Structure 1
Amino acid sequence: MEDIREFSGTQLEPGTLYGAIARLEEKDWIEALPAENRRRPYRITPAGIAAFHEQAATLQRVTTVGKARLAMLEGF
């Protein structure tokens, strides 16, 4: 949760984070590694990497179109 807060400025509640982790595991996009003290690390799977690339490409298209439309409206 600290890492997410530091890089995104968003504070997630434990239920939100653990729910997201559970969904990612269900889709086989991440897998749990052996626990380290109180921490439970996860690793992205090959399917997770593919899903990430697909989502990143979609977000890039949305961002490009959004910027172009904003520029037309506001003269950027």
Structure 2
Amino acid sequence: MVILKFLLIVFVVFYVILLLGRLYIRRFIRKNSRQYQQQKDQAQGGERRRKKGDTFVQYKPDEKKNIPKDEGDYVDYEEIK
């Protein structure tokens, strides 16, 4: 009889933990999806504020050329017409 009580208690505790876990996971997912949506809206908010026809320029950083020093020389020349 003691074994049956123990198994019943273990089963009930496991079932309660499973139900609470599902609820917690749902809340966690909803909270994170709301935060993600807010961040996405804020990131796109700047793009939405621009009026139609406005010019928007995105600057790219200059890319440095990696040329080994032993690979030829730079020759300065002058164009003659």
TM-score when scaled to structure 2? 0.37
Question: Larger C-alpha radius of gyration, 1 or 2?
Answer: 2
Q: Which has the higher helix share?
A: 1
TM-score of the two chains, using structure 1 as the length reference: 0.40
Q: Higher strand proportion, which one?
A: 1
